[in-house]
Chain A
Amino acid sequence: MLTTSHKLRLSRSEVEDFLFRQAEYIDSRDYESWLSLFTPDALYWIPVRPTDTDPETQLSFMYDDLPTMVARCERLLAFGTAGQQPITRSSHVVSNVRVNDATSNGELVVHSRFHVTQFRRDVLKSYAGAYTHHLVATDEGVKIRLQRVDLIDCDGIHDTILQIYL
């Protein structure tokens, strides 16, 4: 996959289509399509505190490179994964989309809000927060180079292991 040099420009509705598609892939457990939205050097980061700045040396919920993302998705789909008996279902609502100008390295930075409800074994669980997507143009279309997920309760106590991507 080659990243093109020109600055990515997308309208808000184009960005919304992209974000809604990504959310739909998770909710329909189509992880292969979901993974195809990321560049090979992509990072998916859920900080554990609102103030965290360096995921290399600070704990995170998730700080996944692409191999980790692939392995995580494989675990979810593998026959017999203990934590997915029963499976987790999810439903995303993505809103409040704001498109920033492209940055100097050609990335388009997009802010949005999400509300994700998950259901597993009689327990309904709610996740809310903000997405920051760094999008780039490639010869295979628009891809995500960095997705940051800021949970409003990231530094709280968690009685459910978050198993599927938000």
Chain B
Amino acid sequence: MSASLATSERNDTAAELDVGRLVEPERIHRRVFTDPDVFELEMDSIFGRSWIYVGHESQIPQPGDYFTTQVGRQPVVMTRHTDGQIYVLENRCPHKGALVCPERSGHAKRFMCMYHGWRFDGDGSLVSVPVHSGYDGTSFDPKDPGNGMKRLPRVKNHRGFVFASLSADIPDFDAWAGEGLRGLDNMIDRAPDGSVEVVGDCYRTVQNSNWKIFVDNMSDGMHTSFVHHQMARAAQRTLEKFKGQGRPGGLDVAAMLAGEPDQMAKVDLVAHPNGHFDMAAFAPELKGPEADQYKAALIARHGKEGAEVVLQRNYHNVLMFPTIVMQASLQQMRVIRPLSVDKTLLEIWAFRLKGAPESFLRRAVTGANLANSPSNVVAADDFEAYFRVHAGLKGPQSEWISLHREANRDIPVGTSLKGHSGNSEVCMRNMYKAWHAYMTAQ
């Protein structure tokens, strides 16, 4: 296995890399997925130059709370400082570069680097350097608060969702997000109190495949009838056997994928500028007295017409390229943290819609356990597809993959493109157009 990987890497790097030629309107070169040099360039040109999701403000409710993750290859820490503001800092001591916060999350009055005891405030300011007289007469000023942990140059808190950029020189958040924001906003609008919060910690799973193979699958209606057929049938048979008994959001959702090869054809797929997309929801809405109560609460907030718009708009998968894949109607979000060309870490979060009935949260938790956990029964079969795609693409002999499906039938809607059907590969084509623009930008 490692021998074949090494061979394929050599073949990739042997040929001169002309990244602009790896993407065509309807086909993609295999090196987009397998070439370590392409991955390095992605980290600079895409993950270093766009709005990367960091975390949700509900993860750090109190001053002193922090959460660590990565923006591209950069370890970062999201903090809530004593001024109540959220900061996103490089998780790196300015002295020798050690990680200042080693835990995934926690609470600290101040940060202290374990190596030489340098101390920092929650906004990154340098507080003190032990035996600072050692810097007398040098070009380093240990008393300058600005010599602390560096802040990322751009941070945006969009309704509790915190994004940051490693580069100052990128478009504003709203221009970058555009129509791609409507999926995220819809999930938040569905909360009667107008905001959401995370449910505990996230799952962390690693796919042994390139990150874009996963993203492609998020708008791939056609795979559902093949990859998920066995689980969908198992869910269907089990529900019959137990006469529908079972928790909402679990087997009932899995069983929906037991149809014909074109079962997703009627699902709306819309691709937006900058690579984003959304896919309409197909899971059943909750019914019963709680649901009626919930609708009344939404009407109280948005008005009758407003509530109808919020409820009509309902999304299954939402991509905010390159880091967020939400399952908005299922109150879940998968955050893409690429580790290497063939390893992709996902943080998978579930959300509580504030003001919504507890049954909504229970459904989200049931769905997450079954479809997204490290022992799930839905993505378990997707992972097999991702692994096989990546393994197949290591072979250098054939160079291209096909994104031709329904390519000549896209329907323009404003600045967006709607797929001819839910089987269209429009969102993949749209994403690689954005990918190409990022990768070739000067």
Contacts and interface: CB of A to CB of B under 8 A. Distances in A.
B199 A161 contact: no
A83 B381 contact: yes
B217 to A, nearest CB: 12
A62 B371 CA distance: 10
A58 B365 contact: yes
B384 A85 contact: yes
Contacts of A52: 200
B308 to A, nearest CB: 29
A70 interface: yes
B375 A161 contact: yes
Given A74-B238, A157-B345, A161-B205, A83 B375 contact: no
Interface centre among A52, A67, A78, by most chain B C-beta atoms within 10 angstroms, is A67
B374 A80 contact: no
B235 A71 contact: yes
B385 interface: yes
A2 interface: no
Interface string B362-403: 100110111001111101110111000000000000000000
Interface in B240-284: 241-242, 245-247, 250-251, 254
Contacts of B384: 82-83, 85
A85 B229 CA distance: 14
B206 A57 contact: no
Interface in A23-76: 46, 48-49, 52, 55-68, 70-72, 74-75
Contacts of A122: 1
Given A67-B246, A68-B370, A158 B205 contact: yes
B383 A83 contact: yes
Interface residues of A, number: 39
Contacts of B235: 71
A101 interface: no
Contact of B201 (A48, A62, A67, A71): A48
Q: Could you say which interface size class chain B belongs to?
A: 35 or more
Interface in B189-243: 199-206, 208, 227, 229-231, 233-235, 237-239, 241-242
Contacts of B78: none
Interface string A70-96: 111011001111110100000000000
Given A67-B251, A81-B231, A156 B381 contact: no
Contacts of B381: 81-83
Nearest to A70: B238
A14 interface: no
B201 A61 contact: no
Contacts of A46: 375
B235 to A, nearest CB: 5
Contacts of A5: none
B250 A81 contact: no
A159 interface: yes
Given A71-B235, A85-B384, A122-B1, A159 B208 contact: yes
B368 A59 contact: yes
B374 A60 contact: no
Contacts of B376: 161
A66 to B, nearest CB: 8
Contacts of A126: none
B361 interface: yes
A78 B376 CA distance: 16
B201 A163 contact: no
A132 B203 CA distance: 23
Contacts of A65: 246-247
Contacts of A159: 205-206, 208, 343
A35 B58 CA distance: 40
B258 to A, nearest CB: 12
Given A67-B246, A157-B206, A48 B373 contact: yes
Nearest to A79: B230
Contacts of A71: 231, 234-235, 237-238, 251, 254, 377
Interface string B319-359: 00000000000000000000000010100001000000010
Nearest to B362: A56
A83 B380 contact: yes
A62 B247 CA distance: 13
A98 B245 CA distance: 35
A74 B234 contact: yes
Contacts of B250: 68
B254 to A, nearest CB: 7
A71 B206 CA distance: 25
B362 A157 contact: no
Interface in A143-166: 155-159, 161-163
Contacts of A83: 380-381, 383-384
27 contacts: A48-B201, A48-B373, A56-B365, A57-B361, A59-B373, A62-B373, A63-B366, A66-B242, A67-B239, A67-B241, A67-B242, A68-B251, A71-B234, A71-B238, A72-B234, A74-B234, A74-B237, A75-B234, A81-B231, A82-B381, A122-B1, A156-B204, A157-B345, A159-B205, A159-B343, A161-B379, A163-B375
Interface of B: 1, 199-206, 208, 227, 229-231, 233-235, 237-239, 241-242, 245-247, 250-251, 254, 343, 345, 350, 358, 361-362, 365-366, 368-370, 373-377, 379-381, 383-385
Given A68-B370, A70-B238, A71-B251, 13 more contacts: A57-B361, A58-B365, A60-B373, A61-B375, A65-B246, A67-B242, A67-B251, A68-B251, A78-B231, A78-B234, A159-B208, A161-B376, A163-B380
